[in-house]
Amino acid sequence: MILALESSCDETAVAVLDPAVGLTGEWVHSQIALHEAYGGVVPDLASREHLAHFGPLLQRALATVRPEQVTKIAVTNGPGLAACLAMGLATAKSLGLAWRVPVVGINHLRAHAFSPFIALHATNPSAFDAEFAKLLPHLGLLVSGGNTALFSLDESRRITLLASTMDDAAGEALDKGAKLLGLSYPGGPQVEKLAATGNPTAFAFPKAVAQRSTLEFSFSGLKTSLRYQLEKMAPEEIEHRRTDLCASYQAAVFEALVRKSQLALERGFGGRDLRIPPSSDGATDARRGSETPPYSETVPYRSFGLSGGVANNQTLQTKLAQVAKQIDVPFLRAQTKHTGDNAGMIAFAAWAERESGGVNESGLALEIAPSLPLAQL
């Protein structure tokens, strides 16, 4: 059994994974209500909350599993808020020492990357490795409050970052847009609700970046154009047209996500974007800087996945499912409970990445890594 702990931001979470069965228990304490009053996460308050809640959550987990059954303790070691990550690491190391069980560090973003496959594992754990292999290489889109990334997952379960955002993340763009529109934090779900009855073509927000042929994302210009639009409108008019504003703004954010995903899927696995760094062995890539990606050397992706908080948006789900259908690849989406901060995906990544080098085995020497990127341990 793998016991997992997550405390990278504003959720304290514990989960237990039996690789032969699936996740047997998940416990979360959310701090959203606490931070809402401040309009965002206050790191000091968040770490105190983790200190207060790991004990009770672990008591609940330990009512379902005996310490002797735990063979590994997995903990998020980054990215996240330093003081919050430290709470998880200190707790995990203490348990590891007391129980003489190895402690491994999990990259929160990599765990998101694997989250669309948790349900596949749960349906038939013993067939997972064979079924998973049929879905690789995989293209993943991770969209959360802090990250927007397209990445590939190859046959060896290695992750390569294909593109990220040059400025704001998609969730951040929705949250900042929502704030400009007078909605409370986090804005993404509220924008979705209001957008449902609005007209997505009522306002024309810029789509230049979405239409470019690179995979990189950029959302800050969009937010600025919303601000300019709102400055031109009287308060009553904004109030009156809020649903149209939400629908049009959300559509512009999603246009980029949909277009770039489509582009990456069409390009295939092995296709390069212009900003891919040199390979780790230092060899220079002769194709770097070339405007034309090497389509001829690519192979088709065999699945497309969506993860992160913004994955909860039904309009986005529908649009991306359509793209996958057009290209004829299976579309997998993380279940709602595995889209935000949760320990279930941490436990799953500790198991799914056990042989692909994606797990940090530093044990008691494990350090927090507040700015850990997706494609590193």
Residues in a beta bridge with 12: 29
Q: Which stretch binds ligand ADP (CB under 6 A): 92-100, 125-133, 169-177, 231-239?
A: 169-177
Residue 308 engages ligand ADP in binding (rule: CB under 6 A): yes
Report whether 117 contacts 333 (CB < 8 A).
no
Footprint (CB under 6 A) of ligand ADP, residues 83-102:
none
> Strand 138-143 vs strand 148-153: parallel, antiparallel, or unpaired?
antiparallel
Residues of the chain by 3-state class (helix, strand, coil), percent to 5: 45, 15, 35
Answer whether 109's CB lies under 8 Å from 372's CB: yes
- From the list 28, 75, 104, 174, which residue makes contact with ligand ADP (rule: CB under 6 A)? 174
Q: Give which of 85, 84, 27 is closest to 57, Cα–Cα.
A: 27
Q: Does 7 bind ligand ADP (CB under 6 A)?
A: no
Residue nearest to Mg ion (CB): 341
Please count the other Cβ atoms lying within 10 Å of the Cβ belonging to residue 234. Answer: 8
DSSP-derived secondary structure letter, 339: T
Q: Which one, of 124, 115, 159, 131, lies nearest residue 351 by Cα?
A: 115
Q: Does 175 bind ligand ADP (CB under 6 A)?
A: yes
Q: Are strands 22-30 and 138-143 parallel, antiparallel or unpaired?
A: unpaired
Q: Could you tell me which residues come within 8 angstroms of residue 373 by beta carbon, excluding any fewer than 6 positions away?
A: 79, 109, 161
User: Closest approach of Cβ 31 to Mg ion, in Å?
Assistant: 10
Which tokens belong to 71? Answer: 């063979």
Euclidean distance between CA atoms 137 and 270, whole angstroms: 9
DSSP one-letter string for 80-103: S-HHHHHHHHHHHHHHHHHHT--E
Instruction: Decide: helix, strand or coil at residue 5.
Output: strand
Task: Determine, following the binding rule CB under 6 A, whether residue 340 of this chain makes contact with ligand ADP.
Answer: yes
Q: Give the one entry of Mg ion, ligand ADP, none that residue 171 binds, where binding means its C-beta sits below a cut-off of 5 to 8 angstroms depending on kind.
A: ligand ADP
State which residue, 9 or 74, has the beta carbon closest to ligand ADP. Answer: 9
Contacts of Mg ion in 320-349 (CB under 5 A) = 340-341
Interface with ligand ADP includes 49 (CB under 6 A)? Answer: no
Q: Which residue is nearest to ligand ADP (CB)?
A: 309
Taking CB under 6 A as the criterion, the residue among 78, 145, 293, 358 binding ligand ADP is: 145
DSSP state at residue 269? B
Is residue 186 helix, strand or coil?
coil
Q: Rounded to whole angstroms, how far apart are CA atoms 278 and 44? A: 38
Closer of 329 and 334 to ligand ADP (Cβ): 334
Please, which of residues 105-144 interact with ligand ADP by CB under 6 A? 144
Q: Is 175 in the site for Mg ion (CB under 5 A)?
A: no
Out of 22, 88, 116, 171, the residue judged to bind ligand ADP by CB under 6 A:
171
Applying CB under 6 A, the span of 42-50, 65-73, 184-192, 203-211 interacting with ligand ADP comes to: 184-192
Tell me whether residue 175 or residue 273 sits nearer to ligand ADP (CB atom).
175
**Contact flag: residue 313 with ligand ADP (CB under 6 A):** yes
Q: How far is the CB of 65 from ligand ADP (least distance, A)?
A: 26
The entry of ligand ADP, Mg ion, none near residue 78 (CB within 5 to 8 angstroms by kind) is none
Contact footprint for Mg ion (CB under 5 A): 340-341
Contact footprint for ligand ADP (CB under 6 A): 9, 144-147, 171, 174-175, 186-189, 192, 308-310, 312-313, 339-341
